[in-house]
Amino acid sequence: MTDGWGFRRPDDDDRTAAQHTPPAVAPPASFWWSDALNDPWRDPHSPVALVPPAERAHAPVPEPLAEPDHTRRRTLWTVAGAAVLAGVLAGVLGGAMGVRFSDDRQTARSILGSTASPPHRAPESLAAVASMLLPSVVTVRVPVDGSVSLGSGFVASADGHIITNDHVVSGSSGVVSVIFDDGTSSPAKVIGTDPESDVAVLQVKRGELHPAMLGDSDAVAVGDAVVAIGSPLALRGTVTAGIVSALDRPIATDAENGTTRYYAAIQTDAAVNHGNSGGPLVDAAGQVVGINAVIKSMAGSEESAGNIGLAFAIPINHARRVAEEIIAAGRAHRTVIGAEVEESFRGPAGGVRLGEVTATGPAAEAGMRTGDVVTSFDGRPLSEPTDLIALVRKTAPGEVVEVTYKRGATSHDAAVTLVADAD
């Protein structure tokens, strides 16, 4: 019989045959075993008797048997054995490699940490707010004197109206265009501007617009989280975050046409730089509460100014009113109180002294006169002339505000109904 590797094990028949083999005659060469003394299955302690076979009378001489084709059988067994061996080795090697690679991956995971599930972002998270607003924000490209000036803006209506700053589009010498968050661009028509409030309205003609939701800037509180979105330094789609640092911060800046811009700004520490102008300031609900317009800096010139955490936005209630007037009539009206202010006055207790008071204006109708010192406007104390002008501009025509003023040593309260200018 044979073992599992193709080798033959001597059995009892083989031993019997060996007993009848004459000792004087060497056994014939065998394919399996040629040396019984070295047979690994031989039992050296078993009794052995060598008995020569009895001669048979007149036994016919057998014809010699044909020698088996040991070469062919050797080849077949060799091929079969090699195939089996190769299969076993391949399995062992494959298993070893699988274990090795699995161990390597397991080692890498143990070193670098396992892969976590994608984070769940709440609808009020900053990431969700940014994702909501980015499709509404545009980069405004304005050709100016052979070069291109960049600013920001946002889509405010399904009709393609885009709100930005007046100073972003002022001085344009060609066709203004806007670039959307997906990289596509469209030409834009300047519908109108209001240099004094620093608001401008553009319009594009294209489908699939994503108008931003406009919030209520009067509901904003100091400490509210806000996000500024725009294209600072030409980096489109930049999102920065901060808080509302202050409200009704009076801002007065000079426009290129010689007028002065006034508004009571929302102050924020969200990073704002050149190129953010005209972009939205957004609250935690994803609603626009202001238009980023100006920054304060320690730099010696406006061109080299950068963010130091003091940025200012036009309240959206003010900007919305101006934009709607521009869309409806091509221009916006200023809100006035019907009096001039004395720029040089600095009272020991603060306040703003009135210069000429228009005879039929709101201030005169409320009983105020030239020389009166206005100490508070709608509950807000005043210390600089800019304070009064900015707060008046912020208020819509027709609104009634409480004003406290002094005439000599006597303090008076008055209800003043503000109006739009006649120009």
Length of the chain: 423
Q: Which of 219, 217, 222, 240 is nearest to 289 (CA)?
A: 217
Neighbours of 239 (CB within 10 A): 19
Instruction: In whole angstroms, give the CA distance from residue 337 to residue 108.
Output: 72
Instruction: In whole angstroms, give the CA distance from residue 155 to residue 138.
Output: 8
Q: Which of 361, 351, 343 is nearest to 421 (CA)?
A: 361
Q: Is 152 a catalytic residue?
A: no
Instruction: In whole angstroms, give the CA distance from residue 170 to residue 3.
Output: 99
Using CA of residue 359, residue 364, residue 369, residue 373, what is the dihedral sign? negative
Catalytic residue among 136, 152, 161, 167: 167
Q: Which of 371, 392, 40, 411 is nearest to 196 (CA)?
A: 392
* Contacts with 402 (C-beta within 8 Å, 6 or more apart), sequence order: 376, 378, 379, 413, 414, 415, 416
Instruction: In whole angstroms, give the CA distance from residue 47 to residue 313.
Output: 114
Catalytic residue among 152, 177, 217, 277: 277
Instruction: In whole angstroms, give the CA distance from residue 50 to residue 22.
Output: 7
Phi, psi for residue 200 in degrees, rounded to 5: -135, 155
- Checking 32-35 for CB contacts under 8 A at 24+ apart, the result is 32/7, 32/8, 33/8
Residue identified by tokens 């690679």 is: 101
Catalytic residue among 194, 198, 248, 269: 198
Instruction: In whole angstroms, give the CA distance from residue 370 to residue 353.
Output: 8
Q: Is 277 a catalytic residue?
A: yes
Residue identified by tokens 């009848």 is: 20
Q: Is 157 a catalytic residue?
A: no
* Catalytic site positions: 167, 198, 277
